[in-house]
Structure 1
Amino acid sequence: MNKSTGATEVTILFARQPIYDRQHRLAGCELLFRPCPRAEALTEPFDGDLATRQVILNAFRETDIRKVCENTPAYINFTANALRGEIPFDPGDIVIEILETVEATDEVVAAIEHYRQRRYAIALDDYRLTDAGHPLLPFADIVKLDYPHYGDDELPALVTQLRHRYPYLKILAEKIETLEDFLYCREAGCDLFQGYYLARPSRVERERLSEKHFEILQLLAELNRVDASQDELAETIGSDDFLEEQLLGIVNSTHFDCREKITSVAMAIDALGQRRIRNLASMLALAKLDDKPCSLQKLALDRGELCQGLADNLAETPISGFTVGLFSILDAFFQRSLDEIFDSLPLPRVLKEAVLEHRGPMGLILATTLHLEQGELEDLDWAALAEQGLTPEQVSHAQQQAIENSDMFF
């Protein structure tokens, strides 16, 4: 995403940190931004006020921010300086997130009251107190508890205090990294949960891989064979009644606007291309795991689309970028390590090296995608990306395109 600020064309890289409700449904996204007029600028000191005011709020049109956050509120960090002035978005589109470094001065309190009167939601970020004594709590709609900071008994006690003193306050637990963390915080009474726990396997002891799960893994491997012809792909999909029926239903929906009714997988491949049909079929194969939340499937789709968008800029792609992204998250679907999954399937070495070791150009693509996904914008290896011909502008464009492609499927 580009925005002209004076004489400089600024490229904006962003990351979305998902926020889920108690049923794993997406309830919002914290948006993290990094403006850079050139690739090497990413190593320069970061100006939070610039990110919030001059670049972020002016670079995103209202439709952009809704699309990026999938029609849920965008949580955006505000410094004390950024609270000055007006916000060019409707109150329902964003949550004003007050950074932990902001002091409760008269000016800050007045600014918060101004926004509350206009029905903007206010969130306190990175809360680490063990009581309900923060001076800005009376003005907050949401408080974000720094989960790793609290001991075993401290979090439930704090939630009880907050509930008693501020009954309408929503309590968000952030930095939730595992399903066990989520379950603990939910039991403690938290309402919202921010982190990447859906993308990681549980630590709970597992039973043997079921026959159904192994069949789905084999189906995924067959769908993503690098040497599969168009006829072989059509045969693989056609041999599975669920895949064929669901895929034809999607292809004939208004999303794709085909000129004639598609009545066979072969026709679908002719109309949309082998790559698109393979990706759709792979997502439908994962949909057979009906015990997994839709949010996990959406995360897998987002990762696959971004890997594909970045890989499209490479001179050579020995394997599909979508396949690399999709297979990198299979551990969360099957509750097995990626090493165990890869050992059980006849997969090409280039895929194993990219996913398990982040080796080669496709490994770099996956590593870049994971950094963007997890908000680790400072860790992007711009020198390595430049060697592969990737610029910040291309990375930003790939992000935008991935969001549009994901929205088409979901």
Structure 2
Amino acid sequence: MGTETFLARQPIVDAEHRLFAYELLFRQSMASVSAQISSQLQAGVGVISNTLCLGPDWLLQGKLAFINLDEATLMSDFVCLLPPQHVVYEILETVPVSSVLIARIRELRQLGYRFALDDFVCLEEYRPLLPMVDFVKLDVLEQHPEKTVEILAHIQRDFNGQFIAEKVETREMFELCRNSGIQYFQGYYFARPENLANKSIQPGQLAVLDLMNKVSNCEDLSDIEEPLRRNAALTLRLLRYANSAAAGLQQQIHTVRQALTLIGLKTLYRWLALLLVTAKPTPTNALAARTAVTRGRICELLGQPRLDRQAQDELFITGLFSLAEPLMEVPLARLLERLPMPDSVVQALVHQTGPYAPFLKLAEASERGDFERIARYASDIDSSPEEVNLAQLQSLAWTEELTSEASPATDESAYG
């Protein structure tokens, strides 16, 4: 069986939830049950080659990439393929500390590369590395908070760099880490913003919901044209989208009627759904919004060889709306009351059942790099881990292309 490679991208943010970097994650197949050097080398090289293939400029958008390195990859020439200004190499906790390792780190540092210690624990053997690394990452999920504070105090005298708390999953843990002097943070708390179920649907969201309902039941374009023309903000956004590369049109669009005629109702519905789910431009939501768009696209791509066009569109909506609740800060049940959806979409979103559920679960597993679930859910839809990996890469590229057409983050339509 060939090696199955999965690339994921998880944000690292600062104390104000501003994006600082991405960790690029590799996951092996179930066939790699032991830590063979060849598999470790392929893992490290896989991330580096995928980064080169996709291009660090669009993949990172000017941010750093944190990449895990095992001993074999660290000692290879592959690490020099990526420009040093783009990357921070994480030394895995499984790498033995030796004079050879120290000499290699010094050599790469002279070339401009930076390093982090991953899953740091207070072992004396790591002390010689502390003056040579720029970041120390602490797994705050696997240890008691008091242990984290103890580690911080223990290494301060030998370490002048910055700390990253990883696997931060709650507001309480984030605040404890921030108050302890940790500068950067990584974990599902940031990718999945806190759900504030008491928030109501905002007026702007109601306008979009109303238009989506009209599109669903539209028999005459004038039913959509007039409400759009009465909403100047939506009209401007629609015209900008219709004239962007994201819409794929080859001629200039000047009127609402032209836009509606050329992009079609299905594309309009998708655009409104994107606008509805991703329109709140807070720093944390911007990260989750990208995840939502990418998740929708993965579901759609996986459905292309298996389902008809309508089902593919519904898969996109399923993936996109799977994060609607935290993004919009509105309970999903309340949202579905205002926006009736096909039964298959509701089953997947609310009950995790039905024909679309395996696609959604597969997209979520791909984000997490959970190769056990990837293998399971890929089998459920008669797919392969290789196809999932390709869909993940294509979806990341598609999301970046879509969002590159957007205006600055101060505009609510950043994903329109």
Q: Using a 3 Å threshold, how does the CA distance of structure 1 residues 290 and 101 change in structure 2: closer, same or farther?
A: closer
Higher helix proportion (structure 1 or 2):
2
Q: Confirm or deny: 8 A CA contact 2:91 2:118 kept in the other structure.
A: yes
* 8 Å CA contact retained: 2:21, 2:66: yes
Please give the secondary structure, in 1, of the residue aligned with 2:182. coil
CA distance in 1, matches of 2:68, 2:235: 45
Q: Measure the CA separation in 2 of the matches of 1:307 and 1:188.
A: 40
* 1:94-243 equivalent positions in 2, closer than 5 A: 94-129=87-122, 134-156=127-149, 158-159=151-152, 162=155, 165-167=158-160, 169-202=161-194, 207-209=198-200, 211-212=202-203, 215=206, 218-219=209-210, 222=213, 225=216, 231=221, 237-238=228-229, 240-243=231-234
Specify the alignment match of 2:406 in structure 1.
none
The structural deviation recorded for 1:234 is: 5.3
Give the letter aligned to residue 45 of structure 1: V
Residue 266 of structure 1: how far off its partner (Å): 3.9
Return the letter of the residue paired with 1:331: E
The SS at the match of 2:97 is coil
Contact 2:365 2:373 in 1 (8 A): yes
Question: Which consecutive residues of structure 1, in runs of 5 or more, have no partner in the other structure?
Answer: 1-7, 36-40
Aligned mates of 2:355, 2:226 — CA distance in 1: 31
Counterparts of 2:233 and 2:253, CA distance in 1: 16
Q: How many corresponding residue pairs?
A: 394
Deviates more, 1:64-73 or 1:399-408: 64-73
Equivalent residues in 2 for 1:11-410 (5 A)? 12-34=5-27, 42-45=30-33, 47=36, 48-61=39-52, 63-86=54-77, 87=79, 88-129=81-122, 134-156=127-149, 158-159=151-152, 162=155, 165-167=158-160, 169-202=161-194, 207-209=198-200, 211-212=202-203, 215=206, 218-219=209-210, 222=213, 225=216, 231=221, 237-238=228-229, 240-253=231-244, 258-291=249-282, 293-316=285-308, 317-318=310-311, 320-339=314-333, 341-342=335-336, 345-382=339-376, 385-386=378-379, 388-410=381-403
Counterpart residue type for residue 119 of structure 2: D
Q: Distance in 2 between matches of 1:326 and 1:250?
A: 18
> Deviation at 1:137?
1.5
Structure 2 gaps, min length 5: 404-416
* Residue aligning to 1:5: none
Residue 370 of structure 1 aligns to which amino acid in structure 2? E
- Structure having the higher strand fraction is 1
Q: Any idea what the Cα deviations from partners look like across 1:186-234, whole Å, max 9, x if unmatched? A: 3332222111213435267x64525537626834863784x65683665
Within 1, Cα distance between the matches of 2:214 and 2:144? Answer: 46
> Deviation at 1:250?
3.1
Rate the CA distance shift 1:361–1:197 in 2: closer, same or farther, 3 A. Answer: same
RMSD: 3.4
Q: Counterpart of 1:390 in 2: which secondary structure?
A: coil
Distance change in 2, residues 1:180/1:274 (3 Å): farther
Partners of 2:4 and 2:228 in 1: CA distance: 41
- Separation in structure 2 between the aligned mates of residue 32 and residue 313 of structure 1, nearest angstrom: 27
Structure 2: distance between partners of 1:131 and 1:238 = 68
Q: CA deviation at 1:82?
A: 2.0
Shift of 1:89: 1.2
Helix, strand or coil for the counterpart of 2:167?
Answer: strand
Please identify, of 89-98 and 297-306, the stretch whose mean Cα deviation from structure 2 is larger: 297-306
* 1:324-377: CA deviation from partner (whole Å, max 9, x where unpaired): 112110121233443454456533322111112222231111101100111212
Distance (Å, rounded) in 2 between the aligned partners of 1:314 and 1:191: 46
Q: Describe the SS at the equivalent of 1:127.
A: coil
Percent of residue pairs bearing the same amino acid type: 26
Deviates more, 1:134-143 or 1:291-300: 291-300
Give the Å deviation of 1:34: 3.6
1:268–1:56 distance in 2 versus 1, CA, 3 Å? same
Inter-CA distance 265–32: structure 2 relative to 1 (3 Å threshold) = same
Residues 1:44 and 1:85: Cα distance change in structure 2 (over 3 Å): closer
User: 1:75 is paired with a residue of what secondary structure?
Assistant: strand
Structure 2 CA distance for partners of 1:350 and 1:115, relative to 1, 3 Å: same
Deviations 1:376-401 (A, max 9, x none): 1221145x535534334432332232
Q: CA deviation at 1:160?
A: 5.3
- Residues 70/310 of structure 1: CA separation in 2 closer, same or farther (3 Å cut): farther
Tell me: CA distance 1:163–1:256, structure 2 relative to 1, closer, same or farther (3 Å): farther
CA contact (8 A) 2:315 2:345 kept: no
Question: Which has the larger displacement, 170-179 or 313-322?
Answer: 313-322
Residues 378 and 388, structure 2, Cα contact 8 Å, conserved in 1: no
Deviations along 1:54-105, one digit per CA (max 9) or x if unpaired, are 5443454265344333442222211122211212111123221111122211
- When normalised by structure 1's length, the TM-score is 0.82
- 2:122 aligned counterpart, secondary structure: coil
Does the 8 Å CA contact 1:198/1:332 hold for their aligned counterparts?
no
In structure 2, C-alpha distance between the alignment counterparts of 1:338 and 1:132, rounded to whole Å:
50
Q: Which residue number corresponds to residue 414 of structure 2? A: none
Q: Which amino acid aligns with 2:181?
A: G
Contact 2:120/2:136 (<8 A) preserved: yes
> Are the structure 2 counterparts of residues 233 and 370 from structure 1 closer, same or farther at C-alpha, using a change threshold of 3 Å?
farther
- Secondary structure, counterpart of 1:15 in structure 2: strand
Question: Structure 2 length normalisation: TM-score?
Answer: 0.81
